[in-house]
Amino acid sequence: MSASPVTTKSSLSSAANYLTSQLRQVGIFVALIVIVIIFQILTGGILLQPDNVSNLVVQNSYVLILAIGMVMIIIAGHIDLSVGSIVGFIGAIAGTMAERWGWPWWAAIIASLAVGAIVGVWQGYWVAYFGIPAFIVTLAGMLIFRGLTQVVLGSTQITPFPDPIRALGGGFLPGLGFLFGQLETLTVVIGILIAVVMVVQALRQRAVRRRYNLESEPFIWFLVKLIFTVGLVLVIAYLLASNNGIPIVLVVLGVLVVAYSAMMSRSVFGRHIYAMGGNLNAATLSGVKTKRVTFLLFVNMGVLASLAGLVFAGRLNLANPTNGNGFELDAIAAAFIGGAAVTGGIGTVTGAIIGGLIIGILNNGMSIIGVGTDYQQFIKGIVLLGAVAFDVYNKRRTGSR
Amino acid sequence: MSNNILEMRDITKTFPGVIALKDVSISVERGEIHAICGENGAGKSTLMKILSGVYPSGSYDGEIVFEGEPVHFRTINDSEAVGVVIIHQELALSPYLSIAENIFLGNERQKRGWIDWNDTNLEAAKLLARVGLSDNPITKIVDIGVGKQQLVEIAKALSKKVKLLILDEPTAALNDEDSAHLLDLLRHLKEQGITSIIISHKLNEIKKIADSVTIIRDGKTVETLDMAADAVSEERIIKGMVGRDLGNRYPDHTPHIGDEVLRIEDWVVHHPSDHSRVVIHGANLSVRRGEIVGIAGLMGAGRTELAMSVFGRSYGANISGRVYKEGKEIKTNTVPEAIANGIAYATEDRKRYGLNLIDDIKRNISGAALEKLTKRGWVDANQEYVVAEGYRKDMNIKSPTVGAITGKLSGGNQQKVVLSKWMFADPDVLILDEPTRGIDVGAKYEIYTIINKLASQGKGVIVISSELPELLGICDRIYTLSEGHITANVPRSEATPELLMQYMTQEKE
């Protein structure tokens, strides 16, 4: 009799402890939801209208693609300031090949990605093997590739782009007709499929972790999290289905997020990135080929930046000298809002994606309610500072315990 | 009234869990050169940090009397204000500023808030002349050698109207000529009435210039000797430094020594930034299976440099020499190559070089041999957990799970994680650099037990240590290293602390 209140109390406090320990991970997600709710109210429901959700995805896809590569570079303890210029440069290159030279669209895409890789080789060499800090190399790269963009374009613009490249930027998966008169069938099917896979995957993982006695997550928490994420997927699927279906770029993004998340958490390469960012000396003395890892990270960033460049040019149907201006800052901000540490060693791909979505929703929501770009910049700055300050505060608090 | 410029009485200083100094007393006569001797970790530096105000008044017990007045220094500025200046072993000069700027750093010659450059350079030149330097005061620090930099430090001290000059290992980084010059200067300053306290491992130097010597051992004053009156020999100082009861602090170990597993021949290493300086002079050493070999040397002898240069050339430049594994010559030019050849090196500085402190135990343990847990490029996280959990139990790492962040573990447990990492890599030769530094006595015993176990598994173990009793307690054979030379190879049966210390302080031939 007397023991039972004690146990409830201790299990409650252990659940509270668990929540606090997960604050870093969960906090950013909660922040995203709060921001969605605020803007849903402020915009009088426009934010989550089907066409706006679809718009949100397409509008932010290129920054999210950049954020994936950026967070990896930041985890390794570097930075890349050149990605915005690479976006512009690749737009110009792709436009030249597809329009001026009349290459087939697929050849233009492959060649553009290859050029992105070469750009990465160039920057990776200086950072990894020559030993110049990434800040300097990519600051130079920012100027070099912006300049080259203008050289390639020769003070004009290139338009239009071939349809497949335009589809990459703003197109939708072909539909299969409508359910109940208004829901696109393919979108519904894919949404349900993803939800099922997520449930199965989560249950399997939990079972394995229990078998190894690794599980520290309270079951209720697990259930709440699962219902919530699955619900989210279904809601998004519903919203997309009631508009034009699934944007092609969302498929690309989805594949990238899953693949890179897996790579960062489970592959040797990913583990070496975290080890380097956490303690470069210790990683080197453990046999990690730190120079090669750094080099490959920049090559990877080059390829992702070129993909973002294709998406952006395709969406605008235009190659223009200012394409991608300032994208590097959005990508960097996304990574830091998403919980990456300035000193390296900490961060996740999903965190960076959520960070990017927060920025995207701020942009979109503020535009809808008619906040001027001046105030938009101001508010984004405050959010970035606040997110990192929260993180630093959190770390200091747990560190002093 | 006594003629003592300084008296420190019953100084006791504790750090969390450790008593660094216990009732240490020392008296320094006005105008003498007073040496302080002791093994690494005996408490010499701690004592000098208390004297100079690095550890503020109130953080220790005891009394300091300077020129007949009790003093309570709270910062270095307080101690410098009365004329106590310390020069640390690691020179504290700003490399890209000029000599003159460095001399007056924090004490600028100024007129109404603007620096008076003429006065600065003029005064600097005068001070440089007093220490026997004729360089232009506007020369940048990077452009002069370490010997001259040391003299600039002394000129800086003179600019502060120094009465008591403290030098921590002033000749550790200098060549013979610069050392001789420095010692001359100290004698010269003595004639001008400046009292010096010199901390040094080089007993021949102490014998040459000190008037008296205080020996500290395990945080306690052993004795103070008057060099002239007591006719002190180097052997006499060594006896004071090492004479201690070994007790039963080491687990029993019956060696089963097999064939030679690693041999290093004619190993020469140059300093990474000063290529003309030889750090290791043609070292030869070998270790056999099942053998625990010690490397004894004082600070600056080149122990870590030797080990790290062998381990994938992680230290040094212009390295030459040969490495043989089981009689066959191997290359160890990169860390992955060294690891692939079955060599492991566990660093003396686990926080800087050994662990990813923001990651957990299991990922640190798997760090050096991740490929063992890999299938087609993917890490098997569950297998990793099982492996790490095994080491946690085996090595008695005190943490509820292997998911704990290593930065929050105690020193002893961190060291066990480092050892686990290298045990998982399953090398044939383990080089353990100061494996028990900063670890409490109980954990030390556990580490020794682990070392014995590794040897009994047929691995060759090389232990680098500053603590002679530790080497005598666990090693089958001990090499001594002095100023980059291997000076002796002593079997356990013949080794005594006095003998080793003699070889460790032996001058090169």
Percentage of chain B modeled with pLDDT above 70: 96
Minimum CA–CA partner of A209 in chain B: B382
A155 touches chain B (CB under 8 A): no
Per-residue pLDDT at A24: 61
A70 & A189 share domain: no
A136 & A267 share domain: yes
Residue type at B90 in one-letter notation: E
- Spatial separation of the C-alpha atoms in residues B352 and B300, rounded to whole Å: 19
Minimum CA–CA partner of B372 in chain A: A268
CB within 8 Å: A287 and B311: no
Partners of A281 on chain B (C-beta within 8 Å) are 352-353
Domain presence at residue A393? yes
B487 & B364 share domain: no
CA B504 centroid distance within chain: 14
Per-residue tokens: A376: 């938009």
Lowest mean pLDDT among A261-270, B15-24, B112-121: B15-24
Domain presence at residue A5? no
Domain presence at residue A97? yes
A198 & A302 share domain: no
Quote ipTM for the complex: 0.81
Q: Among A193, A216, A246, identify where a domain stops.
A: A246
Q: Contact at 8 Å (CB) between B29 and B41?
A: no
Each residue's pLDDT tens digit, A219-278 = 888 888 889 889 989 999 999 988 888 999 999 999 999 999 999 988 999 999 999 999
Per-residue pLDDT at A91: 95
Q: Among A210, A229, A246, identify where a domain stops.
A: A246
Per-residue pLDDT at A207: 86
- Spatial separation of the C-alpha atoms in residues B481 and B483, rounded to whole Å: 7
Domain presence at residue A102? yes
A268 touches chain B (CB under 8 A): yes
* Confidence label for B43 from pLDDT (cuts 50, 70 and 90): confident
A373 & A261 share domain: yes
Distance of CA B444 to CAs B201, B299, B303, B388, B392, Å?
25, 21, 21, 21, 17
Q: Which of B314, B365, B379 to mutate to test the interface with A (most CBs of A within 10 A)?
A: B379
Strand, coil or helix: A83:
helix
Domain presence at residue B446? no
A310 & A357 share domain: yes
Closest listed residue to residue B299, CA positions, set B486, B47, B50, B89 = B89
B102 & B201 share domain: yes
Q: How far A364 CA sits from the closest chain B CA (Å)?
A: 36
CB within 8 Å: B354 and A275: no
Each residue's pLDDT tens digit, A47-78 = 999 889 988 989 999 999 999 999 999 999 99
Domain presence at residue B248? no
Q: What DSSP string describes B244-274?
A: ---TT-S--------SEEEEEEEEEEE-SS-
Given a cut of 60, whether residue B269 has pLDDT beyond it is yes
Q: What DSSP string describes B380-422?
A: -HHHHHHHHHHHHHHTT--SS-TTSBGGGS-HHHHHHHHHHHH
Per-residue pLDDT at A401: 35
All residues at 6 or more sequence positions from A49 whose CB lies less than 8 Å from its CB, including other chains? none
Domain presence at residue B373? yes
Q: What DSSP string describes B26-48?
A: EEEETT-EEEEE--TTSSHHHHH
A201 & A313 share domain: no
Cis peptide before A160 (omega within 30 of 0): yes
Each residue's pLDDT tens digit, B349-379 = 888 899 999 899 999 999 999 989 998 888 9
B288 & B154 share domain: no
Q: Contact at 8 Å (CB) between B371 and B428?
A: no
Minimum CA–CA partner of B401 in chain A: A214
Domain presence at residue B150? yes
Closest listed residue to residue B263, CA positions, set B184, B356, B325, B170 = B325
CATH number at residue B127: 3.40.50.300
Percentage of chain B modeled with pLDDT above 90: 48
Domain presence at residue B448? no
Q: Positive or negative, the Cα torsion across A304, A310, A313, A316?
A: negative
Q: Contact at 8 Å (CB) between B270 and B282?
A: no
* Confidence label for A216 from pLDDT (cuts 50, 70 and 90): low
Q: How far B370 CA sits from the closest chain A CA (Å)?
A: 7
Given a cut of 60, whether residue B247 has pLDDT beyond it is no
B417 & B466 share domain: no
Q: How far A345 CA sits from the closest chain B CA (Å)?
A: 7
B296 & B188 share domain: no
A314 & A335 share domain: yes
Each residue's pLDDT tens digit, A284-341 = 999 999 999 999 999 999 999 999 999 999 999 999 999 999 999 999 999 999 989 8
What is the mean predicted confidence (pLDDT) over B109-115? 86
B469 & B509 share domain: yes
What is the mean predicted confidence (pLDDT) over A158-163? 90
Phi (first) and psi of residue B360, to 5 degrees:
-90, 180
Per-residue pLDDT at B40: 67
Of B312, B359, B374, the CB nearest to A268: B374
Positions of E strands within B117-202: 164-168, 195-199
Domain presence at residue A187? yes
Domain presence at residue B233? yes
B200 & B267 share domain: no
B310 & B374 share domain: no
A vs B: CB pairs below 8 A: 78
Domain presence at residue A392? yes
* Confidence label for B181 from pLDDT (cuts 50, 70 and 90): confident
A190 & A66 share domain: no
Of A212, A278, A288, the CB nearest to B386: A212
B184 & B313 share domain: no
Domain presence at residue A24? no
- Spatial separation of the C-alpha atoms in residues B434 and B347, rounded to whole Å: 7
Number of domains chain A contains: 2
DSSP state letter for B434: S
Using left for φ > 0, alpha for ψ between -120 and 50, and beta otherwise, residue B455 falls in: alpha
Per-residue pLDDT at A400: 40
Lowest mean pLDDT among A32-41, A207-216, B472-481: A207-216
Paired strand residues for A356: none
Domain presence at residue B253? no
DSSP state letter for A174: P
CATH number at residue A64: 1.10.3470
Q: Contact at 8 Å (CB) between A108 and A94?
A: yes
A217 & A265 share domain: no
B262 & B164 share domain: no
Give residue A179's domain range. Answer: 174-246
Percentage of chain A modeled with pLDDT above 90: 61
Given a cut of 50, whether residue A7 has pLDDT beyond it is no
A262 & A134 share domain: yes
Each residue's pLDDT tens digit, B452-463 = 999 999 999 999
A258 touches chain B (CB under 8 A): no
Q: Contact at 8 Å (CB) between B255 and B290?
A: yes
Which residue reads 């010499």 in tokens?
B44
B215 & B103 share domain: yes
CB within 8 Å: B355 and A212: no
Number of domains chain B contains: 3
CB within 8 Å: A212 and B382: yes
Report the range out of A360-369, B213-222, B251-260 with the highest average pLDDT.
A360-369
Each residue's pLDDT tens digit, A94-115 = 999 999 999 999 999 999 999 9
Closest listed residue to residue B434, CA positions, set B421, B446, B447, B423 = B447
Lowest mean pLDDT among A12-16, B110-114, B194-198, B264-268: A12-16
Per-residue tokens: A246: 């699934």
A213 & A298 share domain: no
Minimum CA–CA partner of A277 in chain B: B356
A160 & A305 share domain: yes
What is the mean predicted confidence (pLDDT) over A168-187? 82
CB within 8 Å: A284 and B314: yes
Partners of A214 on chain B (C-beta within 8 Å) are 382, 385, 403
Q: Contact at 8 Å (CB) between B217 and B42?
A: yes
Q: Among A206, A230, A246, identify where a domain stops.
A: A246
Give residue B349's domain range. Answer: 344-426
Per-residue pLDDT at B18: 67
Q: Contact at 8 Å (CB) between B5 and B29?
A: yes
Of A214, A266, A281, the CB nearest to B378: A266
Using left for φ > 0, alpha for ψ between -120 and 50, and beta otherwise, residue B424 falls in: alpha
B336 touches chain A (CB under 8 A): yes
Phi (first) and psi of residue B110, to 5 degrees:
-140, 160
Q: Contact at 8 Å (CB) between B117 and B47?
A: no
Q: Which of A285, A394, A401 to mutate to test the interface with B (most CBs of B within 10 A)?
A: A285
B380 & B330 share domain: no
Per-residue pLDDT at A142: 96
Per-residue pLDDT at B123: 92
Q: Positive or negative, the Cα torsion across B372, B375, B379, B380?
A: negative
Alpha helix locations (H) across B332-394?
Answer: 335-340, 361-366, 381-394
- Spatial separation of the C-alpha atoms in residues B247 and B262, rounded to whole Å: 32
Q: Which of A279, A291, A396 to mutate to test the interface with B (most CBs of B within 10 A)?
A: A279
A286 touches chain B (CB under 8 A): yes
Domain presence at residue A1? no
CB within 8 Å: A214 and B378: no
Per-residue pLDDT at B295: 95
- Spatial separation of the C-alpha atoms in residues B463 and B478, rounded to whole Å: 9
